[in-house]
Amino acid sequence: MPRRECCVFGCHQFDVLHRFPKPETSLERFLEWKKIVGSKLEDKTNDDIYTNCRICNNHFEERFFYPQSKRLAKTSFPTLNLGFISSNQDESIEIQSVPEVLSESMDIDMVPQILPGCSSQVPNPELVTKTGKIFLLGLNSY
């Protein structure tokens, strides 16, 4: 039997894994977890996700654990280290319109000068220009 690992995109932990909430009794929470994990689960049934998919400790804040335990509280949901944007969300988020003068080969180091305060909130942004606007890809919802 293959070793289970975390189902969050880009995470390969298999240490402490948590099962999704049971869809029959906690459908709303189950669907929220599924939405957070995103496209990796799109083609799976709820039963398949509940039975086979797990999320590791790295994706939960300390406040969601019972004191001195690795067990999650019933109100928990993954919020940390979630990788790329879910396919259920927009693929790109428009930050701000910029003048047409900007070159498509603009240096990423210029972003803090053009969008002050934005780049410090986004680790390693990938810059893409489209129709004179700057888009940052791979953002999590804030």
Segment 38-74, tens digit of pLDDT: 888 889 999 999 999 999 999 999 999 999 888 999 9
Extents of the domains making up the chain: 1-83, 92-137
Segment 78-134, tens digit of pLDDT: 999 887 544 444 443 344 444 444 445 555 555 555 555 554 444 444 444 444 444
Chain-centre distance for alpha carbon 105: 28
Q: Is 134 helix (H, G, I), strand (E, B) or coil?
A: strand
Please list, residue by residue across 6-39, b when 16 or more beta carbons sit within 10 angstroms of its beta carbon and e when fewer do: bbbeebebeeeebebbebeeeeebbeebbebbbe
Question: Which pTM was predicted?
Answer: 0.55
Which pLDDT does position 4 carry in this prediction?
Answer: 84
The residue with greater pLDDT, 125 or 11, is 11
